Structure 1
Amino acid sequence: MSESLFADASKRLEQALKYANISEDAIERLKYPKTSLTVSIPVRMDNGSLRIFKGYRVRYDDTRGPGKGGVRYHPSVSLDEVQSLAFWMTFKCAAVNLPFGGAKGGVTVNPKELSRLELERLSRGYIDAIADFIGPDIDIPAPDVYTNPMIMGWYMDQYSIIHRQLTPAVVTGKPLSLGGSLGRDTATAAGAFYVIETLMPKFDQPAQNTTVAIQGFGNAGAHLATLLYNAGYKIVAVSDSKGGVYAKKGLDIPSIRRFKDTQKGLQAIYCEDSVCNVVEHEVLSNEDLLGLDVDLLIPAALENQITETNVHNIKAKYIFEVANGPTTSAADKILAEKGIYVFPDILVNAGGVTVSYFEWVQNRSGLYWTLEEVNQRLKQKMVEETLKIWQIKQEFSINLRTAAYVHALNRLGEALSAKGTRDYYLGS
């Protein structure tokens, strides 16, 4: 991970500050993370050897509430990456008006190389190391890349053992049987779908005439593909970490999902009951997928996928960022010059943290909601904040990313100023 990732992430604020109502004191506070933690996690491997893994947790800002953010397990995890993700989470929570600050965590590991027992030891060891750094009123972890409800259950259990009391609200994204929320597993995809459905009519882009390519067929990407497919969009390409498939006539998403669940790979197939037939398709790389001539391009994998190097290959009309930070600031400028609309991650993928908030509320109240209630509240939140950000875009004639940051900055600035600023203390 480049050391400049955080510096690049910070550039998102430059344009937004011209339009935001925020004090110099607040701007200064937002330049730096509140606190960062780096830990070593010793894990006894199945063969008896001892390995040490590096772990991180960054709480960027907690002015509006406890830190909130996922934990990812990935070989490229670094402090710079985690700090950048915590920065984005700060603005994401403010953009959709959640009473949270921004945080993020990670462990530098390839989880695919670990046995299930080793994965559990690593996960419990991570919580042992950061237990004093998190809590229901301090910082609340959640799933991210290569972490899942089972791992969140281990987190909650280990934290509860350490503190000698059951504490379900310390972690979100847990299994339902351990206090998880209905709808959390599909929340990121559902939130993105509501944003797409809210904005596409403004461009006279009906679903049945819209082609879609999705980079990243993990939890968020696969669920979003299903939602779009069921709504009539034509999904022509999907990819995972090993590569992708493309069919101009469109892909049968339910069949592809069933195939991946059983075979752990992608194949363009059509299944009717138990009979599956391979359909004509092209095999393509993740890079090739980004350059397809489609209406909607949805990066749903990792950050820094669209850069100065490949941005000139982008042909899509609209980009919806389901991944965190998939587009660099330099690429953003070129996309704007090409007339390509980019709908930013801090809005598009905010469904996950929104339902994480719902789970936290349910854990603290002891009152649990139905799936219908969760989805209704999520849709209301996503549509409401999307329309507010669209209004800011129209008012100042700026792009959607800048408008989203303006929206978030205004809320953060108000909270930070409530604690006192230079103007207040000088009586001006």
Structure 2
Amino acid sequence: MNRIFGAAWTALVLALGALRRSPLRASLTAFGILIGVAAVTIVVALGEGATQQVSGRIDSMGENALMVMPAETLKSGVRDERAVGILTEGDADALAEEAPAIEKAAPLLFSSAQVAWRDANTPTMIVGSKRAFFDIRRWKLASGSVWNVSSETLGEKVCVVGVTVQQNLFGAEDPVGQVLRIGRHPFRIVGVLEPKGQGPFGNDQDDVVVMPVSTLRAKLLSTLPGQVGRILLQGATPDSAAEVERQAAAILRQRHGLTEGAENDFRIRSQEDFRRRQEGILGTLRTLLLSIALVSLIVGGIGVMNIMLVSVTERTREIGIRLAIGAREIDILFQFLVEAVVLSLFGGAAGALLATLAVRSIASALSWEMGVSTDALVVALLTSTTLGVTFGFFPARRAARLDPIVALRRE
């Protein structure tokens, strides 16, 4: 055991001495490992952070939420305008009343417009819906209140605004009771939403004006009477998504007059569907970036091997002397392997430190909650060690197999 530790210590001392004699070469070689390790670590951290962000934003869609949308293509993949379904407020009401698994349903219409108050104006998203929309999305009000049921029935020109719209138009002033203009129509503000941040698709959920769906359709859009763009559903229980989808499909097929065997003219998507789709996209992007980062890591390893081969060539006489005075092939092999591992570990440690600082800066800039985990740092160091052993083995074996007589003749 003492012999093993002694040999390891000797190899480490010789390795450090060799690196000190060529600091510039050692630094440039370690830099290749640094870039590779930093790139891999940053990609992994960003992937985990992005996944958490997507999951959180999809959860912000609402509690036990599903979305009903018109179908746009046939299953054959051929677009057919006749296959485009039309959803109505009546569909939303029927789903809420007839499906036991559905707690609430809210029709949705979307538009965008320039909204103005006095001399200020700003472009924003316009959402038309019903009171149930706020409950499903869990959108709370910072001030004021949601419009009443009669406003929906009569199509009154009332609205609730997001905090971004408030800041852009009113600054610090409370806008409740004020009248803003959308096109040539005045709308009375009855409430202001609490801040919500980004939505599931990266949109600013606070840059929004919400009004009764009947008002949006009559005043700002040219759609068929009762037509809506989507229907937002809320399941009665957290695990009711499959049953909600089944019951909703049955009711809509009946209401739309679809015969047995006919394709649905609507689509139903749960939060899990959106999550899988987004995570699939992120997974593909992460794999691509990780592949590029791994290539840089391999290039760094090849750099270590090349430098070690040069080192073996330059130190041929030194190797011959060691072999002549009794050093074994395994001692020479171990010496150069340790040198390659130390070089790689320096680069790996520096890369892990650089990645940690970079991830913190990115997280701060994007307002994400993410960081480099301890496991990632351990993996970075293990990867560096593996690179050192893998790419240092060939030069080390070449050094160990030198003929001492031939090596001593080398000037």
Q: Which of structures 1 and 2 has the larger relative contact order (alpha carbons within 8 angstroms, sep 6+)?
A: 2
Q: Which has the larger radius of gyration?
A: 2
TM-score, scaled to structure 2: 0.24
Q: Which has the higher helix share?
A: 2
TM-score, scaled to structure 1: 0.23
